[in-house]
Amino acid sequence: MRWLYKIIRRIFPAQWHGLLTALLYDLRIKPTVNRKVKTPFSKGIIVLSADFEMAWAFRYSKTKGKIAEEMGLRERENVPKLLTLFEKYQIPITWATVGHLFLDSCSKGQGLNAHPMMPRHSFFENSNWSFSSGDWYQHDPCSNYKDAPAWYAPDLIDQIIQSPVDHELGCHTFSHIDCTDRNCSSQLLNVELTACIELASKKGIQLKSMVFPGGTNGNYSTLKELGFTNYRKATNYHIDIPFINDDGLVQIPSSHNLDRSNQNWSAKRYIRMANSFVKKASKHKMVAHLWFHPSMDSWYIENVLPHILENLKKSSNNGDIEILTMGAVANKVKNISND
């Protein structure tokens, strides 16, 4: 099915891709379901996760590098609104957080580089980012969260912790690195994650869940050694089941990005689209994992997201699905496999 879709996409001109996607949802071909596996669950599971990263994510982005700080500030504005919505509908999510955001402030070390103790990425390029000159931390303002609010977020992290909803704080590396085996040594990832673990533990949090920045999955054994239990990764299907990988980590499928696309779709279409994931996850008793960047479009937050969350709450109250954090899914999968 996937190959057929790829061929059709190649035949259709780019401006028709949105129409094609919409059509596939209308025909209920999307979201796709892994029908080759037997589900171990008694009902559908919905997971929501956020890549909480602020300006760090966009520094070396090929498309958004110039507006990294603007993106960080947009995220800062959105997080309290998102927390209010999750509180209204009582929906816990996993906030995969860049470690630097835990800091109140930081300062230049000797040699005038930020974070002299942290190892650096070698220059690299991947499909989304290009790091080809200067120091990896060259954009770090070496300031504090009041003066450089796009780069630090201890106040927002406290809001997440203090929310009456039982959110999970997960990890998104310390400085938003590429974690692939190709571009990242196990030593680099080890130091990055250890920094995150120490900063989180100062707030009484144990990190268990990992979202690799930009989908740069890799170095699983390092993750396992440091006590993580799971990570997010897209499979060939939108709706699928998690599995325990060779390193003993639970791989949780990734299904759908919640945000406005460059298509001129109505709020209704976006809502219908997201709800179709919930419906199919419920029907097949599998996992749908909806994820987003908190820097998402504010129109989407106001006009689309509340309706998606309302439907989720209703489906959960009806007993059609359960809403779990990534850490909770990993525990569930481990318990089932131990039975």
What are φ and ψ of residue 274, in 5° steps?
A: -65, -40
Whole-number Å distance between alpha carbons of 202 and 312: 33
Whole-number Å distance between alpha carbons of 334 and 248: 9
Choices 44-52, 59-67, 225-233, 322-330 (CB under 5 A): range interacting with Zn ion: 44-52
Does 51 bind Zn ion (CB under 5 A)? Our answer is yes
State which residue, 140 or 192, has the beta carbon closest to Zn ion. 140
User: How far apart are CB 248 and Zn ion at their closest, in Å?
Assistant: 25
The footprint of Zn ion on this chain (CB under 5 A) covers a number of residues equal to: 7
- Identify the CA nearest to 229 among candidates 317, 309, 335: 335
User: How far apart are CB 199 and Zn ion at their closest, in Å?
Assistant: 12
Does 213 bind Zn ion (CB under 5 A)? Our answer is yes
Whole-number Å distance between alpha carbons of 59 and 139: 7
Whole-number Å distance between alpha carbons of 264 and 22: 11
User: How far apart are CB 214 and Zn ion at their closest, in Å?
Assistant: 6
Residue 286: CB partners within 8 Å, gap ≥ 6? 33, 34, 39, 41, 44, 45, 239, 240, 241, 280
State which residue, 157 or 241, has the beta carbon closest to Zn ion. 157
User: How far apart are CB 100 and Zn ion at their closest, in Å?
Assistant: 6
- Identify the CA nearest to 309 among candidates 5, 48, 6, 8: 48
User: How far apart are CB 167 and Zn ion at their closest, in Å?
Assistant: 18
Choices 52-60, 245-253, 279-287, 325-333 (CB under 5 A): range interacting with Zn ion: 52-60
Choices 14-22, 56-64, 221-229, 299-307 (CB under 5 A): range interacting with Zn ion: 56-64
Choices 11-19, 205-213, 252-260, 298-306 (CB under 5 A): range interacting with Zn ion: 205-213
User: How far apart are CB 76 and Zn ion at their closest, in Å?
Assistant: 15
Q: Which residues within the stretch 99-158 sit at the binding site for Zn ion (CB under 5 A)?
A: 106, 114, 140
Place of tokens 């998102």: 82
Judged by phi (left if over 0) then psi (alpha if -120 to 50, else beta), residue 145 lies in alpha
- Choosing from 30, 32, 46, 53, the residue that interacts with Zn ion (CB under 5 A) is 53
Query: Where do contacts with Zn ion occur on this chain (CB under 5 A)?
Result: 51, 53, 57, 106, 114, 140, 213
